[in-house]
Chains A and B, each alone.
Chain A
């Protein structure tokens, strides 16, 4: 079992470019999450999906969109990247939202120039 996988591991974008961060899990979990981690800020929730077919905004959703493609996959899209979106992005999953431990992917380190 791979657990939670994220692609790419590293990415450099220019301001205004778009990209999609991919996340996949083989744990048969219902809920999936996207966080960003910035120095001194801890982890902040961008979007989450409580179950296949549903998505909801987290604490910092502006500038992002998400797609829960199926139970396994949850993607995060930056339509027009800005330097303020330079961060490390983590995908996480758990069996059901709020009542269980979360399992994290290895992260995507994104730099926007």
Chain B
């Protein structure tokens, strides 16, 4: 069963614009991670935010976490054509048998 659900499913923007992607989850988590997947490749880790953190930055990426709403957002600022990829949120559910559970992904297209 999917823990994380991304929104929207697909996003198309112009180069230079900001892209905002959202993820909602159902149960308490230890951390939430975002991954990127370029076409035909494996997933690459972007950023991890722990349950006691509210915001984190990495370069052009900003991630927020609202544990009261069980949601996270990934903001990519000043997007580039090279940001075109699928983006996945993954949650590490709290508990003794926690495993990383991935959402279905968001397809981001950045038009040059």
**A17 on the B face (CB < 8 A):** no
Residues facing A in B25-45 (CB within 8 A) are: 30-31, 33, 40-45
Q: A42-B103, A90-B43 are in contact. Are A98 and B1 (CB under 8 A)?
A: no
**A64 on the B face (CB < 8 A):** no
CA distance A97 to B30 in the complex (A): 12
Chain A, interface residues (CB within 8 Å), range: 20 to 34
Q: A42-B103, A42-B105 are in contact. Are A101 and B30 (CB under 8 A)?
A: no
**Chain A residue nearest in CB terms to B4:** A42
Q: A99-B92, A106-B42 are in contact. Are A45 and B103 (CB under 8 A)?
A: no
Task: Please encode chain A, from 91 to 111, with 1 for each CB lying within 8 Å of some chain B CB and 0 for all others.
Answer: 010000111011111110000
Residues facing A in B44-91 (CB within 8 A) are: 44-45, 48, 88, 90
Give residues in B with beta carbon < 8 Å to A.
1-2, 30-31, 33, 40-45, 48, 88, 90, 92, 98-105
What 15 new A-B contacts, CB under 8 Å, besides A42-B105, A58-B99, A101-B48?
Answer: A42-B88, A42-B102, A42-B103, A42-B104, A45-B99, A45-B100, A98-B30, A98-B100, A99-B92, A101-B33, A102-B33, A102-B100, A105-B42, A106-B41, A107-B40
Give residues in A with beta carbon < 8 Å to B.
4, 33, 35, 40-45, 48, 58-59, 90, 92, 97-99, 101-107
